[in-house]
A = this chain, B = another copy of it.
Amino acid sequence: MPNALLRKLSSFIDLSEGDRQAIEGLCSHRITVEAKRNLVREGERPNDVYLLLDGWGYRYKLLPDGGRHILAYLIPGDLCDIHIFILKTMDHTLGLLTPATVAIIPQERILEVMDKHPRIERALWWATLVDEAVLREWLVNIGQRDAYTRLAHLFCELWMRMRAVGLADEGRFSLPLTQEELGDTMGLTAVHVNRTLQRMRAEKLIMLESRHLTITDAPRLVETAGFEPNYLHLDRRAEIAKLR
Contact = CB atoms under 8 A, between A and B. Distances in A.
A129 interface: yes
A53 B163 CA distance: 43
Interface string A127-145: 0011011011111101110
Contact of A144 (B67, B81, B87): B67
A86 B129 contact: yes
Interface string A183-211: 01111000000000000000000000000
A234 B92 CA distance: 16
The interface residues of chain A, by DSSP majority, are classed as: helix
Nearest to A70: B143
Given A132-B135, A139-B71, A143-B142, A122 B86 contact: yes
Contact of A88 (B91, B136, B184, B233): B233
B64 A125 contact: no
Given A83-B129, A125-B83, A187-B143, A226 B63 contact: yes
Interface residues of A, number: 43
A11 to B, nearest CB: 13
A65 interface: yes
Contact of A91 (B67, B89, B231): B231
A65 B226 contact: yes
Given A83-B129, A88-B233, A91-B133, 11 more contacts: A61-B136, A63-B140, A64-B226, A81-B129, A87-B126, A92-B136, A132-B132, A135-B135, A139-B139, A142-B187, A144-B187
14 contacts: A59-B136, A63-B140, A64-B226, A81-B129, A87-B129, A87-B130, A88-B233, A88-B236, A91-B136, A91-B230, A91-B233, A132-B132, A139-B139, A142-B142
